[in-house]
Amino acid sequence: MGKILLEMRNITKTFPGVKALDNVNLQVEEGEIHALVGENGAGKSTLMNVLSGIYPHGTYEGEIVYDGEVCKFSKIKDSERKGIVIIHQELALVPEMTIGENMFLGNEQGHKFAINWNKTYAEADKYLKMVGLTESSKEQIKTIGTGKQQLVEIAKALAKKARLLILDEPTSSLNEEDSRALLDLMLSFKKQGMTMIIITHKLNEVSYVADKITVIRDGATIETIDNHGTEPVSEERIIKGMVGREITNRFPKRTHVVPGDVKMAVRHWTVRHPLYPERKVVDDVSVYVRAGEVIGIYGLMGAGRTELAMSIFGQSYGVGFSGELELDGKPIRMRKSVADAIKHKIAYVTEDRKGNGLILSKSITVNTTLANLGAVSSHTVIDGDKEFAAAEKYRGKLQIKTPSVEQLVGNLSGGNQQKVLLAKWMFAEPDILLLDEPTRGIDVGAKYEIYCIINDLAAAGKSIVMISSELPEVLNMSDRVYVMNEGKIIDEVKASEASQESIMAAIIRSGRGA
Amino acid sequence: MESKSILAVLKKNVMLIVLVLVFVLFVILTHGGFFSANTFTDLVQNNAYVFILGTGMLMCMLTGGNIDLSCGSTVCMFGALGAFFMSTNKGTLELPIHVLDLGVPLSILMMLAIGFAYGSLLGFLIAYVRIPPWIATLTFFLAFRGLGTALLNWANSDTKSIAYLPESFLQIFYKGVLFPTEGFNWPCLVIGLLAAGAVVFLLFFSRKKRIEKGYSVEPMYMTYLKAGLGAAGIILLMSQLAMDKGLPAPLLWVVGIILIYYFITSKTTIGRHFYVVGSNMEAARLSGVNTRRIMFLAYLNMAILTTLATMINMARFQTAMSNAGLNYEMDAIAACVVGGVSASGGAGTIIGMVIGATLIGVINLGMIAVKLDQHFQYIVKGFVLLAAVVFDILSKKKQK
C-alpha cells in the first residue's frame, strides 16, 4: 500500500434543513486515480467543495489531512497553493480570450502591474504540449472545440502545479473519441506520479481508469471498491452500491406493439449553418417514423443530430432549408415558427434543459403549461385552477419528487428537472416527440423512470425520435436506429440486429470514405 | 420557527416599511406639516407620471431588464406637438404664435396616433432590427428633446412655450374632480370605504377559496396584516383627499392603469409570456412563444402609456415647455428598481412598482417640503436607488 496523500475524516456538512454529508470518509493514495461515484445529489460535489475550500474551514465538521498535515482551507487559493486543483464540470474559460490568457487568468505571469506576455505564451505552450495539444496558445478559445477546451482546462490546472487533480464530470460534454483521449491522458499523468480524483456518471470510464472507487449515497460513504483484480469491476456491481439495490435490467422491457402507419417522413432534408451558409450541417437526410415506434438517431457529437431535430421543429435552427416534410402521408409546408410546429403536434425536448428547455426561476406549474398555455386559459385569461390541476396531474404521472408544484424548477434535481421538461411537452399533446439526449446527466434510477415514460408514450401510439450518444441506450430503447455522421445518415439498422461494434464500425468506415 | 417567518415577512415587505419610515421622517422634519391633505393630493396628482411611466417601464424590464431612456424626452416632444394641435392662443399680428386650434377630441386622437406610430417604430427597431434597447431609446432621448425644443421655438419665438390649452382638456387630465362638492367631499370618503371593504373582502375570500381547493396559503396573521394595512392606507388616502378637493382626475387614470396591468401581468397568457421571455428567451422561443412580438409589444405599450403621461403632464403645467419631462425616465426606472423589479428581467410585480413609485413620489414631495436644494434632491434619490439595489442583492444572497 502506497502513501496516503489525502484523507478526509468524518466530514459532516449541514445546510439549513439538510444534512448534505454525514460522516464521509475518503482516503486517496499518492499516484492513484480515485473515482467518486453516486447518484445526483448524493453529495459528491459538496465533498469536493469542502476539500477545495469553497466551503471554508469551520462551516463543516471533520478533518482534512493532506500530505501528512491537517489543513484548514478558508478559500480556494489556499488549497491551490497546496496543489489541490479542481476542474469543474462547466468550463470556466472566456471564449474571447486566447488560450494563454485563459490559462493564466488570475495567475498572471510577470510583475504586478505588467504582464510578461512572452513568458505567458511560452509557459502556456509548454503545458499545452503536455496535454497533447498542438494549437498555439495565441489562438482564441472559441476557435477550438469543446474537447480541446477541456484539455486546456487541464493544462491550466497543470500550470498551477497541481499535485492532486480533481475532475468533475470531465467527459459529460465530450464525444466518445475525445472522452477516450482524455482518459488515456489521465492514465499517462498517473504514470508520472500525479494523483487524481474523477467524478463521473459514466461507469465504463470508471472501470477503465480508476484504481479505487468510492461510492457515496445520500451523503454517506457506502463502500470503497478496489479495481485491481484480474476482472474489472462490473458496472452492475457499482450500480448496486449507488442505488442500494440490484438493478438487473437497466432498460425496461417494452411489450412490443406492432408500429402503425408512417407518421412523419423527412426527405432530402438539407440545412445550412446560420453563420456559414456554405456549410451543410444536415445533408440530404431522409428518415421516417411510424406511429407507436421509437427510432434512435445515434451519432457522435457534432454529427448534426440536434440540428436535424431542431430544423424539423419549426425551422428553429439553421438557414437555407430544402427538402420535404410529410405528416400522415401529406406534404406539409411549415413556416419558420415553433408555434406552427406545435400546432402540427411536434415536440422537441431539448438536450440542454437548463439552457433552453426550462425556466429555472419559475415554478413547476409555469414550466408545465408553457408550451400549451391555451389549454388552461379561455380568451387568453389563464385559469389558475386548471393550470394547477394540470401541473398536479403530470407531477403524479411522472412521479416528480417535489413538496409542491409551486416549487421553483431550479431547486429540483437533474432527474426531476428532466421530468418537468417531459411533462411540459407531454402537456402540449404532441403526436411526434423529438427527444434529444433525454437522459443526459441524470442518475441511474431517474434514467430508468424516463425510459418507462418513453415506452408508455410509444405504447400510446406516439412516434418517438430519440437522439442519444449512449449506444446501449439507443440499442435497447429503439425499434430502428439511424446512424448519423457529418450531417449524413450513413446507416439504418434494426436495433435487434445491431451491435455496438457494428455501429461504431459503420461510423469509422464512413469517416474513411469521406 | 414563528420568529423566523416574521423576519422573512419583514424582508419581503421591506420597501413598504421603508416607505412608512421615510414618510414619518418627513413628517417629523416638517414638524407635522408634511402630514396634510395637500401632500396626499400632490402625491397622486403631481406624481401620476411616475406610476404611469413606471407601469410601461415594468413591462419593458420584464422582457429582460430592458429600459426606455426616451420617455422623458417623449413627454417634451409629444407635449409640444399636443399643444401645437390644441392651443387656442394665436398670438398677435406682430407676434404670431403658430398653433392649429384643432379642438380637444381631434388633438387627443392625433397624439395617440403619433404615440402609436412612434411605439411601432421603436418596437420594430428593437424587436426586428435588433438594436439594443438602450441604444435605440438613447437616440430618441436625444432627438426628441431637440425636436420638441425646436418646435416650441418656431411656434412661439417669444416665450418658447405654448400655453392656453383648452379648459376641457385640463379638466379631463388634471383639474377635474369626481363628484365635486362644497367643503368636505363625502363621495370621495364613501368610495374609499367601499374600496377598502372590497380589498378586505377579496383577500379573505381568495384565502378561503385557496384553502377549499387545497392550495398553499400564507399564515392567517399575514392576511390580517395585509387587509389591515391595505384598508388603512386606502382610507387614510381617501379621507385626506376628501378634506382637500376630492378624487382628482390623475388618480382615476393611475388606478385604472394599475388595475388593467395588474390583471394583464398576473392573469393573462400575454402577461405570462412577458415573464418567460425575460427569464429565458431561448426556452420561451422553443416553447412556441413569439419572443419578437413580445419585445415589440413592450415598446409599443411604453409609447402609448408615455402619451397618456404626456397629456397629464401638459394639463398639470397648462403649458408645453422645452424642459418638460426632464429625468422622468429616471424616476420610472427608479420606481421599478426600488419596487423589486429584476434588473435582468423576468421578475417584478405591479404592486411592487406601485410601492416603489409611491416612495419616489414621497421623496420628491418631502424634499420640496423641507426645502432641499435641487442638487441635494438628486443626491438623495441616487442613494435611495443604490440602497434599494444593494438590499435586493443582499436579501437574495441570504436566501441561498
Q: What is the pLDDT of residues A102-151, one digit of tens each?
A: 988 888 888 878 888 888 999 899 999 988 888 888 988 888 877 788 88
CA angle in degrees (0–180, nearest 5) for A163-A168-A173: 130
Q: pLDDT category, B94, cuts 50, 70, 90?
A: confident
Nearest to B286 among A316, A385, A388 (CB): A316
Is residue A254 scored above 80 in pLDDT?
Answer: no
Question: Which one is predicted more confidently, A245 or A494?
Answer: A494
Cβ-defined contact of A338 to B287 (cutoff 8 Å): yes
Percent of chain B with pLDDT over 70: 96
Instruction: Round to whole Å and give the CA distance between A384 and B210.
Output: 11
Residue A4, φ and ψ in degrees, nearest 5? -80, 120
Instruction: Round to whole Å and give the CA distance between A163 and A165.
Output: 6
Q: Provide, as residue numbers in chain B, all residues whose Cβ is less than 8 Å from the Cβ of A342.
A: 288
Torsion of CA A176, A178, A180, A184, to 10 degrees: 180
Helix (H) / strand (E) containing A325: strand A319-327
Tell me how far CA of residue A106 lies from CA of A51, A95, A109, B388, in angstroms: 20, 16, 9, 32
User: What SS3 string covers A196-218?
Assistant: EEEECCCHHHHHHHCCEEEEEEC
Of the ranges A269-283, B143-157, B222-236, which is most confident? Answer: B143-157
Helix (H) / strand (E) containing A396: helix A384-397
Q: Provide, as residue numbers in chain A, all residues whose Cβ is less than 8 Å from the Cβ of B288.
A: 314, 338-339, 341-342, 371
Instruction: Round to whole Å and give the CA distance between A103 and A153.
Output: 7
Instruction: Round to whole Å and give the CA distance between A460 and A445.
Output: 23
Q: What is the pLDDT of residue A41?
A: 66
**3-state SS class at B33:** coil
Tell me how far CA of residue A45 lies from CA of A107, A153, A166, A446, in angstroms: 24, 18, 11, 19
Mean pLDDT of B110-136: 97
Taking the model in full, what pTM does it have?
0.83
Is residue B307 scored above 90 in pLDDT?
Answer: yes
Instruction: Round to whole Å and give the CA distance between A36 and A7.
Output: 14
A74-99 pLDDT, tens digit each: 888 889 888 999 988 777 888 889 99
Q: pLDDT category, B178, cuts 50, 70, 90?
A: confident
Q: What is the pLDDT of residue A203?
A: 81
Within 13 Å of residue B312, how many CA atoms lie on the same side as its CB? 23
Residue A251, φ and ψ in degrees, nearest 5? -120, 120
Report strand pairing: A432-436 vs A463-468. parallel
- Of A135-139, A349-353, B92-96, B142-146, which range is least confident? B92-96
The CB density around residue B63, as the number of other CB atoms within 10 Å, is 27
Residues in Cβ contact with B24 at an 8 Å cutoff, skipping those fewer than 6 apart:
none
Give how far A33 is from chain B: nearest CA, Å. 34
Q: Are B39 and B244 in contact (CB under 8 A)?
A: no
Cβ-defined contact of A348 to B347 (cutoff 8 Å): no
Question: Which one is predicted more confidently, A362 or B11?
Answer: A362
Cβ-defined contact of A374 to B269 (cutoff 8 Å): yes
- Which of A470, A465, A510, A464 lies closest to A490, judged by CA? A510
- Of A51-55, A425-429, B140-144, which range is least confident? A51-55
Give how far A455 is from chain B: nearest CA, Å. 24
B204-259 pLDDT, tens digit each: 998 898 888 877 787 888 888 889 988 999 999 999 999 988 899 999 999 999 99
Find where cell 419558420 sits.
Answer: A336
Q: Are A162 and A195 in contact (CB under 8 A)?
A: no
B172: DSSP letter: I
CA angle in degrees (0–180, nearest 5) for A136-A137-A142: 95
Q: Provide, as residue numbers in chain A, all residues whose Cβ is less than 8 Å from the Cβ of B284.
A: 359, 370
A459-498 pLDDT, tens digit each: 999 999 999 888 888 888 999 999 998 889 999 998 888 8
A143: DSSP letter: G
Cβ-defined contact of B286 to A338 (cutoff 8 Å): yes
Give how far A347 is from chain B: nearest CA, Å. 9
Provide the grid cell at A8: 478526509
Instruction: Round to whole Å and give the CA distance between A498 and A506.
Output: 11
Within 13 Å of residue A23, how many CA atoms lie on the same side as its CB? 2
Provide the grid cell at A406: 409551486
A363: DSSP letter: B
Sheet containing strand A432-436, strands side by side: A346-349, A432-436, A463-468, A294-298, A480-485, A488-494
Size of interface A-B (CB pairs under 8 A): 77
Q: What is the pLDDT of residue B1?
A: 36
- Of A50-54, A108-112, B346-350, which range is least confident? A108-112
Q: pLDDT category, B106, cuts 50, 70, 90?
A: very high
